[in-house]
Structure 1
Amino acid sequence: MSHRAGGLAGVWAEAQRQQQRQYEARQRERAAAQREERRRHQAATRADRELRAQYKREREAEAQRRTAELEGRVAELSGLLVKGCGAPPFGTASLMREQGPLEPFAPGALAHPVPLPDPARYRPAGGGWSQARRQAALQEARQRYEHDLRAAQYAQEQRTRQLAEYRRAYDEWAAGVRAGTQRHNDSVRAMAAGLRDGEAATVVEYFSAALYASTAWPDAFPRQVSAAFDGFAGELVLDWELPPYEAVPEVKSVRYVASADEEREVARPVTQRRALYRDTLAQCVLLVLRDVFAADEFGVLRAVALNGFAEGPDPATGRRTRVYLASVDVRRADFEALNLELVSPVDCLVDGLRGRLSTRPEQLAAVAHGRLPGDVGAGAVVSHGAGEEPDLFEMDPLEFEELVAELFRARGMRALTTRRSGDGGVDVDALDPDPISGGKIVVQVKRYRNTVPPTAVRDLYGTVQDQGANKGLLVTTSGFGNGSRAFANGKPLQLVSGPELVELLHRYGLRGRLGEGGGTGAGIGVGVGAGSDTGAGPGATLVDVPQADPDAATLGMVWAGQVALDVCALVCRGGRVLSDDHFVFFNNRRTPDGSVAMVEPSRGDRAAIRVGFDRLPPGADRLVLVAAVDPVANPEADLSGFTDAGVLLRDASGAELDRLAVSDGRPGETALVLGSFRRRAGGDWDFVLGGKGYRGGLEALVGDFGIEVE
């Protein structure tokens, strides 16, 4: 009989061992979990430290970038004169146009004769046992050959005729290009002859172009000049606008303070800023003198009287006026004895040339000016200066052409009016020196009050082709219709309407207005009865509102993104709404007179407002369009989803007349001024682009227009 070991005690011992093993396994799992938690925590801590370090590095880099930008601006101001002296002088030779190789005659497929059919390929098809059947097949093959031969001969005659016509057109085009170059160069030679003879108008035009052509001036500097030439004394008299005190950065550097998580600006010492500003003004005066004398290739100038001014308030009247901060009268021999690259600008101007320079120009402390352009008398030709804005409608046509030429020169191009020779349909001949996008530009100027007809745009295109120009511009005081815009689309043509012209003039320090109302806004003029060529394309043009139905203009609103918006309109005088009833929105869908009303959108529009422009109250001078996030539909949204937006102008049938682009929304903002239609003096309306955003929604926006929201 065998004996079984363990018994009950063995079972109990095994159970204890199993429990111990399970306990140890749980302990191992708990220890592993603790180790994994410690590892994750350590990794998160490291990642957080790395993120904080990366954020700090980015903020420090931004502060360094801003500091480098400030230092670069100061270096640009300090080296203004040296840079200018290193630029090649302006001269008539630089205006001459070389006739380069023309695009070769390339008739393409017309160069290859039409092949004649091969008789060997026209064999009888089939045949037959009988003689008659074989003769019929032979006759059919002969007829096919003769048909194809006649067709090929006719095609060859057509090819020969088309090739001759194309060759004739090419020869005419090539002759036109050569003639255009010849006309341009003849115009330059005529200008050079007038310059050599001391013609006052030519002298002023030439030296104004020399000043505008200089590449040394920073982009932010003004370039306003008034000029006259005293032929008897051989003296050029100039008024030149100097940069304001703000041109010298108030901030010296920027540093990032990590403890406060902010960028702190370090102010530039006041004495250093004042000294740099005074030095900059002296450099500007010397650089103007250098550019003028260096451009005088015919020795026309015996002296230059230069007055540098800034715009500022008159202490006696508080009105904005010219304050002269520098003045100098220099003989050519005295100036040519200087080495400008080594002088101290202030000492050179004040001591070397015995000029005057304000001791406190930052306070607009004036100096006594010398001879002014207006003092020259009959010999004075003023390019542009102070005084009332000239009315472009009333300006002399030749003066208007010269003003447009000055605008091109202010944009860094070379430009001449063509009134001294046969212009060939060109009023201003311009040359953009940019080696990539530049080239010859022909400009036609139309001082119109009514819409420019499409025929004028077609004529300009013919002139561009005839003269081999890179681009053609048609500049007018009025606007263009759909026919003109459609024809210009896809061609090297650019149409500049009156409001756009005024905006460009003001941007580059020139003066001009459209009638009594000023006409300074850029955009779409909405007029009544402007002619049959109605509507407009992109840019500032004229659009007709049908006279038969004053409520026929519908403004449809479109945009990308899913954000829900309320589009509203305010009928205003200046920046104030006429009354609460003239605020058209979801709770007030029309004005009391019905001239503005919200309507159901159609044809893909997401909102629409109906406007009778000629029924707006007489006291209203603008209609403001705004948009705000719908707080009910999108309580958490902002205007970052408001993109690719536009206002579609539709007629009574809903047909699209024009699309006005508006600014995109920005993150954090919940309301936006889209733009405003502004009444012009003649009763027409201009569209002026908006863009001001609000973080407080529609309530904050309308508060700026005088509406109190309870």
Structure 2
Amino acid sequence: MSRRAGGVIGDWAEAQRRMQQTQQIQQGQAERRLREQRAADRQYREAEARRRTERIEAEVAALQGLLAAGCRAPAFRMAGLVRSEQLEPFAPGTLAHPVPMPQLHQFQQQSSGWTLGSNRRAQAEREAHARYTQAWQAAHAAEAQRQQQLAAYRQQYDRWAADQLAGIRAHNSGLTALAGALRAGDADVVVQYFSAALYASTAWPEQLPRQVAAAYDPGARQLVLDWELPGYAVVPEAKSVRYVQSTGQDKETARPVGRRRALYRDLLAQCVLLVVHELYAADEFGVLDSVVVNGFVDAHDPVTGREAQLVLATVSAARSAFEGLRLEQVSAVDCLVEGLRGQLSARPDQLTAVRPGRRPDEVGGGVVSHGGHAGDGQDEPDLFEMDPIAFENLVAELFRAMGMEALTTQRSGDGGVDIEANDPSPITGGRIVVQVKRYRNTVSPTAVRDLYGTVQDKGANKGVLVTTASFGPGSYTFANGKPLELVPGDKLVELLHQYGLRGRLGGGPAGIPAQRAPEPDPSPDHNVLGMSWSGAVALDVCALVCTGRRVLSEDHFVFFNNPGTPDGSVRTRAHTAPDKAALEVTFEALPREADRLVLVAAIDPEADPHADLAGFTDARIRLLDAAGAEAGQLEVSDGRAGETALVLGSFRRRANGDWDFVIGGKGYRGGLEDLLREYGVDVA
């Protein structure tokens, strides 16, 4: 027994030793991995600190080299804005190829190897001829359809080409007129042109502001500007960054205050000199003999505590004195103060102001401002009357104010792109192509379709169409589910004011944008149609005022982007439980020519682009009177899998003037777009 027990104990002891050895090996490996991980983390943090230091040094180097780099940038030229009249050629694709017509021998070959009697052979020939005749008729019908589609597509292309050429020629004609006005010294045009030159310049880093107020003195041939300068924070407070292993934190080494102030003063001097350089470089028409630039910052006045424009640098530079300078080689501060006898704040970091030179409001004419703050007492420019160059630059400035990079295109053959923007947002951002249309009438869906083609052609992430006018239902329907955004005139004015810019639509007191006509008050005899359904599917509920199966006009298609008919007889409204959507209808006020009100529902592609109407069940319409009392309920058809739009039903006018409800049920796999085509809404 003792020998057997001793053997068991020995085996157990040996297993213990082996386990301890394994644990020691594993512990050693874990400690080694930990050391390696810590070393890798340290190396990463040290490398990241070096990268931060390099970024700081690159920022400072860019600020120090602003003037030299700006002088190498191409000068603004009117010719760069001329648009080519060369359009994309007509390319019908497969429609260009006729449908192959069948040949009789192709059908006779099928019986070439048969050994049949004369009757059987005759029967086979008749069958072959019958098959040939059927195939020929099908091919002939397909060819006729192809020719019809080709002709329709050609007409569509010709209309598009005519619109494009008209727009290009109007733009180029406007440039010709603009050049003539510049040569004549028209003060407003001179200011708009040189403001556009400053905004379109590629010499300025995007983090620097571009706010300008300007006026032109034709007698003295002098342009007077107030130009916004960057704040002190643009110069990095930190000089370098290093990783401290003992604390596990990054430590910044502060830039000496004296050195930071010197960098800031030098930057302000560079900015003022660069503005003067850009203006003279853009003066291809010879309208400037001198330029006055007052560089200011928007800040709290240290004396009064109120917000103010504090002038930190100013210069009056005659062309004759300025043209002899080699700006790439100068000390900006010395050049500004000694060479041009300008003024520069000794302590701009403490907002110590200097006495400004001549101000734009002292010139005597109108002052044109861009990039300022709404409500500061200056007139709102009428976007309808704004110069086309200035309008494009104003929209570009709006994109910059929204935190994006944006530049107007300055070349012919721009491919229908007026502004190229970049949204730096890591997930939702990317390249954006922008078209601007200074229209008074509703923008055609063709323009939206063309923008979508441009987005695809340019490989952009998104397309934005900005207009002073409005869009019809066809445009919004085409844009649904696509990387497109439509900005109508009223939304444009709202955005301009939101981001501190100016603009109004048409007449009205200065500083007050034109407003839409107020909607009529609800009729006391109106009804509310409350829609409810089971399932979590997100739907848009819309209404079409029709004669037969044709909508009266695009304005009579009521949906989220067109909340009411012109006469107010049908309007969207906020819903209350248990309803999920609601419309307000005054049947007596519907147009006399209308004989039906069609209610439709469609999947909201933005909420769920892959959904269908399979989850649209137990749907009903509650009919409420003006006081909210329920007068009855109307059941409608359930949705079906694969369909994304559905006619719920229609109210139809009878001979006695009453309106009866007829249940619908027709579904569409192509969504609201397909449904609207059937009712005559242009979604091309």
Relative to the length of structure 1, the TM-score reads 0.61
Contact preservation (8 Å) 2:240, 2:254: yes
Contact preservation (8 Å) 1:312, 1:321: yes
Residue 64 of structure 1 corresponds to: 50
- Residues 550 and 211 of structure 1: CA distance in aligned 2, closer, same or farther (over 3 Å): closer
Shift of 1:489: 2.5
Query: 1:557-568, aligned counterparts within 5 Å?
Result: none
- The equivalent position to 1:441 in structure 2, one of 435, 441, 452, is 435
Q: Secondary structure at the match of 1:226?
A: strand
Contact preservation (8 Å) 1:124, 1:140: no
- Residues 511 and 319 of structure 1: CA distance in aligned 2, closer, same or farther (over 3 Å): farther
- Residues 163 and 476 of structure 1: CA distance in aligned 2, closer, same or farther (over 3 Å): closer
Residue 465 of structure 2 corresponds to: 473
**Distance in structure 2 (CA, Å) of the matches to 1:156 and 1:365:** 81
Residue 320 of structure 1 corresponds to: 307
**What's the % identity of the aligned pairs?**
42
Contact preservation (8 Å) 2:435, 2:464: yes
Unaligned runs of 5+ in 2: 401-405, 411-415, 423-429, 514-518, 523-541, 543-554, 581-614, 617-684
Residue 571 of structure 1 corresponds to: none
Q: Secondary structure at the match of 1:342?
A: coil
Residue 369 of structure 1 corresponds to: 356
Shift of 1:354: 0.6
Letter in 2 for 1:430: D
Contact preservation (8 Å) 2:299, 2:308: yes
- The equivalent position to 1:413 in structure 2, one of 407, 411, 418, is 407
Contact preservation (8 Å) 2:466, 2:492: no
**Distance in structure 2 (CA, Å) of the matches to 1:63 and 1:141:** 83
Residue 98 of structure 2 corresponds to: 112
Residue 184 of structure 1 corresponds to: 171
Letter in 1 for 2:289: R
Query: 1:290-301, aligned counterparts within 5 Å?
Result: 290-301=277-288
Correspondence 1:485 to 2:473: no
Q: Deviations over 1:310-358 (max 9, x none)?
A: 1122355432111111111111121111111111111010001110111
- Residues 279 and 507 of structure 1: CA distance in aligned 2, closer, same or farther (over 3 Å): farther
**Distance in structure 1 (CA, Å) of the matches to 2:387 and 2:577:** 34
**Distance in structure 1 (CA, Å) of the matches to 2:6 and 2:157:** 104
**Distance in structure 1 (CA, Å) of the matches to 2:474 and 2:91:** 33
Query: 1:87-106, aligned counterparts within 5 Å?
Result: 87-99=73-85, 102-106=88-92
More deviation, 173-182/226-235:
173-182
Q: Deviations over 1:540-574 (max 9, x none)?
A: x9799998986628999xxxxxxxxxxxxxxxxxx
Contact preservation (8 Å) 1:328, 1:354: yes
Shift of 1:291: 1.0
Q: Deviations over 1:43-79 (max 9, x none)?
A: 2322222232223223323322322222222112111
Residue 121 of structure 1 corresponds to: 107
Letter in 1 for 2:435: I
- Residues 293 and 172 of structure 1: CA distance in aligned 2, closer, same or farther (over 3 Å): same
Q: Secondary structure at the match of 2:361?
A: helix
Q: Secondary structure at the match of 1:324?
A: strand
Q: Secondary structure at the match of 2:251?
A: strand
Query: 1:526-675, aligned counterparts within 5 Å?
Result: 536=560, 552=576
- Residues 166 and 26 of structure 1: CA distance in aligned 2, closer, same or farther (over 3 Å): closer
Residue 601 of structure 2 corresponds to: none
- The equivalent position to 1:193 in structure 2, one of 165, 173, 180, is 180
**Distance in structure 2 (CA, Å) of the matches to 1:392 and 1:485:** 33
Shift of 1:439: 6.6
Residue 487 of structure 2 corresponds to: 496
Shift of 1:195: 2.0
- Residues 536 and 188 of structure 1: CA distance in aligned 2, closer, same or farther (over 3 Å): same
Correspondence 1:430 to 2:424: no
- Residues 501 and 415 of structure 1: CA distance in aligned 2, closer, same or farther (over 3 Å): farther
Contact preservation (8 Å) 2:90, 2:157: no
Contact preservation (8 Å) 2:314, 2:342: yes
Residue 71 of structure 2 corresponds to: 85
More deviation, 357-366/185-194:
185-194
Q: Secondary structure at the match of 1:340?
A: coil
Shift of 1:370: 1.1
**Distance in structure 2 (CA, Å) of the matches to 1:491 and 1:27:** 73
**Distance in structure 2 (CA, Å) of the matches to 1:302 and 1:43:** 79
Q: Deviations over 1:386-441 (max 9, x none)?
A: 6725799995742598874332342443379xxxxxxxxxxx9934399x967782
**Distance in structure 2 (CA, Å) of the matches to 1:258 and 1:288:** 47
The structure number with the bigger radius of gyration is 1
Letter in 2 for 1:473: L
More deviation, 172-181/239-248:
172-181
Q: Deviations over 1:362-389 (max 9, x none)?
A: 1111111111111122364444546725
Letter in 1 for 2:186: E
- The equivalent position to 1:38 in structure 2, one of 24, 31, 45, is 24
Q: Deviations over 1:567-610 (max 9, x none)?
A: xxxxxxxxxxxxxxxxxxxxxxxxxxxxxxxxxxxx89xxxxxx
Query: 1:253-264, aligned counterparts within 5 Å?
Result: 253-264=240-251
Contact preservation (8 Å) 2:373, 2:500: no
- Residues 26 and 429 of structure 1: CA distance in aligned 2, closer, same or farther (over 3 Å): closer
Query: 1:223-262, aligned counterparts within 5 Å?
Result: 223-262=210-249
Query: 1:684-699, aligned counterparts within 5 Å?
Result: none
Shift of 1:528: 9.4
Contact preservation (8 Å) 1:176, 1:466: no
Q: Secondary structure at the match of 2:335?
A: helix
- Residues 511 and 266 of structure 1: CA distance in aligned 2, closer, same or farther (over 3 Å): farther
Contact preservation (8 Å) 2:160, 2:446: no
**Distance in structure 1 (CA, Å) of the matches to 2:143 and 2:54:** 70
Query: 1:453-472, aligned counterparts within 5 Å?
Result: 456=443, 458=445, 460-461=447-448
Contact preservation (8 Å) 2:443, 2:471: no
**Distance in structure 2 (CA, Å) of the matches to 1:26 and 1:128:** 96
Letter in 1 for 2:576: A
Contact preservation (8 Å) 1:326, 1:358: yes
- The equivalent position to 1:206 in structure 2, one of 183, 188, 193, is 193
Residue 287 of structure 1 corresponds to: 274
**Distance in structure 2 (CA, Å) of the matches to 1:527 and 1:400:** 35
Shift of 1:231: 1.5
Shift of 1:34: 3.7
Residue 266 of structure 1 corresponds to: 253
**Distance in structure 1 (CA, Å) of the matches to 2:574 and 2:454:** 45
More deviation, 87-96/193-202:
193-202
Contact preservation (8 Å) 2:107, 2:129: no
**Distance in structure 2 (CA, Å) of the matches to 1:130 and 1:513:** 89
Letter in 1 for 2:58: G
State how many pairs are aligned.
Answer: 515
Contact preservation (8 Å) 1:222, 1:508: no
Letter in 1 for 2:81: L
Contact preservation (8 Å) 1:405, 1:415: no
Residue 343 of structure 2 corresponds to: 356
Contact preservation (8 Å) 1:116, 1:149: yes
Q: Secondary structure at the match of 2:385?
A: helix
Shift of 1:174: 4.3
Residue 695 of structure 1 corresponds to: none
Q: Secondary structure at the match of 2:239?
A: strand
More deviation, 229-238/22-31:
22-31
**Distance in structure 2 (CA, Å) of the matches to 1:185 and 1:481:** 28
Q: Secondary structure at the match of 2:336?
A: helix
Correspondence 1:510 to 2:501: yes
Contact preservation (8 Å) 1:461, 1:472: no
**Distance in structure 2 (CA, Å) of the matches to 1:129 and 1:301:** 102
Letter in 2 for 1:414: T
**Distance in structure 1 (CA, Å) of the matches to 2:579 and 2:330:** 62
Shift of 1:277: 0.8
**Distance in structure 2 (CA, Å) of the matches to 1:296 and 1:511:** 26
Correspondence 1:310 to 2:304: no
Q: Secondary structure at the match of 2:230?
A: coil
